[in-house]
Amino acid sequence: MKNKIILIIRDGWGINPDPEYNAVANANIPNMDSFLKKYPSTVLDAAGLTVGLPDGYQGSSEVGHLNIGAGRIVVQELKRINDAIENGSFFENHNLQKAIENVKLNNSSLHLMGLVQDEGVHAHQDHLFSIMEYAQEQNIKELYIHFFTDGRDTPPKSALEFLKALNKKIAEYQIGKIVTVMGRYYAMDRGANWKLTTKAYEALTRADGVKVDTPERAIGKAYDNGLTDEYITPTIIGNFDGIQENDAVIYFNYRQDRAIQLTKAFIDDDYPGQRWKKLNITYCGFTRYYDTFPFYILEPMDESEGMKNLLGQVISDNGLRQLRISETQKFRHVTSFFNGKLINPFLNEERIEIKSMYDPATFAEHPEMNAFDVVERVIKEIDSHRFDVIILNLANGDMVGHTGNYEAAIKAVE
């Protein structure tokens, strides 16, 4: 291939005509300004129906990478789950049925855990409500809810709004009790910070955490301590004493990257963290969180959607060599998500992960993150002439933007 290609994905970089608190518009970006003056450009719509989401829903990094890598509109899991629940096929899944039957057979408890919010990036509260209603129809006696708070894709202190909506459904269906509350920082780490995952797991399985009487108090106490929803310390409600042997657990998050580590804590014999015990439970997730995970409800897109002729596949089929590179926080996006959620690389696809140096809680203090390390390695690989195509992700614009620190976001963009 005579002409080499580099695809640079500047994660979190958006266009908004309103300059107020607009990090991109107010940053000093001479290189980007120069590119826009010298070369043709266009604006892409990255939300709603354009990227396979229900109308009006915000896009995300995962959604963007899926659509770019597929070269077409990919119907997203949020819409597919909505449709499956509406037509009833969702509840016919054998893994879901197995979880329900296990609870009935053992006279045990059903646990629903996941992110409770309405933005639909990782999960959606309506899916939780649907499972609650189904459990009520199935005469499940003991239903426990583990409330993961967001504050990242939702306003930083919005958990009480979602708690109010959940309590309304608990009253309506006359089923369910909230027994733990914790921020996604612990329950949904994706950066191999196994101590965070273990802390979440031990709160869930042996009630090891802060103790309060009500979920409202759990959230209020966190706010009193200066924490936002994302960082609420794993908190135990009332006299809950942990998930027990022979219970069933349904994880209602559907996005894969932030569901992997906690899932491994529950089911993998070779869990990388230091858990106290692996329980004998029936476990079920909404989607296939990783290639070897068999206990999912929604059929994977690469099987149900016939995801062929992906960009990476076309590059490979034409005998070309490609590199995927990013720091840890977006490595799965530029590899698996870009490849239609397949885990294994295509032939002649090489992957380089630049290990993220900083804890997500400190990204605003280090707005550059590992961007310079990624670029330095990319330059090295360009000079090596080994690759025909290089696809890279610069993560800091998105990750620092999520902190809500405007000044840090400007520095990240610059």
Same domain, 199 and 337: no
Instruction: Compute the distance between CA of residue 273 and CA of residue 260 in angstroms, rounded to an integer.
Output: 13
Q: Which residues pair with 6 in a beta bridge?
A: 390
| pLDDT tens for each residue of 340-385 | 888 889 999 999 999 998 888 899 999 999 999 999 999 999 999 9
| Length of the chain measured in residues | 414
Q: Identify whether 260 is part of a domain.
A: yes
Confidence of residue 303 (pLDDT cuts 50, 70, 90): low
What per-residue confidence (pLDDT) applies to 305?
A: 54
Task: Indicate if the pLDDT at residue 148 is higher than 70.
Answer: yes
Same domain, 137 and 109: yes
| pLDDT tens for each residue of 9-66 | 999 999 999 999 999 999 999 999 999 999 999 999 999 999 999 999 989 999 999 9
Same domain, 86 and 165: yes
- Decide: 234 and 146 in contact? Cβ < 8 Å: no
Same domain, 367 and 272: no
Same domain, 141 and 169: yes
What per-residue confidence (pLDDT) applies to 1?
A: 59
**Percent of residues, the chain, with pLDDT higher than 90:** 91
Mean pLDDT along residues 301-322: 84
Instruction: Compute the distance between CA of residue 284 and CA of residue 248 in angstroms, rounded to an integer.
Output: 8
What is the domain range of residue 185? 77-285
What per-residue confidence (pLDDT) applies to 306?
A: 58
What per-residue confidence (pLDDT) applies to 406?
A: 95
| pLDDT tens for each residue of 185-210 | 999 999 899 999 999 999 999 999 99
Contacts for 25 with CB less than 8 Å, ≥ 6 apart: 16, 19
| pLDDT tens for each residue of 224-261 | 999 999 999 999 999 999 999 999 999 999 999 999 99
Please calculate the CA angle 374-376-381 and round it to the nearest 5 degrees. Answer: 95
Q: Mean of the per-residue pLDDT values for the chain?
A: 95
Mean pLDDT along residues 266-291: 94
Tell me which of 60, 61, 130, 356 is the catalytic residue. Answer: 61
Same domain, 343 and 401: yes
Same domain, 66 and 97: no
| pLDDT tens for each residue of 70-81 | 999 999 999 999
What per-residue confidence (pLDDT) applies to 361?
A: 86
Confidence of residue 302 (pLDDT cuts 50, 70, 90): low
Same domain, 141 and 63: no
Active site residue 109: no
What per-residue confidence (pLDDT) applies to 308?
A: 85
- Decide: 63 and 53 in contact? Cβ < 8 Å: yes
Q: Give the residue carrying structure tokens 């195509």.
A: 389
What per-residue confidence (pLDDT) applies to 309?
A: 92
Q: Identify whether 408 is part of a domain.
A: yes
Domain holding 132: CATH number?
A: 3.40.1450.10
Distances (CA, A) of 277 to 102, 190, 280, 404: 21, 21, 10, 37
Q: Identify whether 167 is part of a domain.
A: yes
Give just the sign of the alpha carbon dihedral 207, 258, 296, 160. Answer: positive
What per-residue confidence (pLDDT) applies to 304?
A: 46
Same domain, 189 and 257: yes
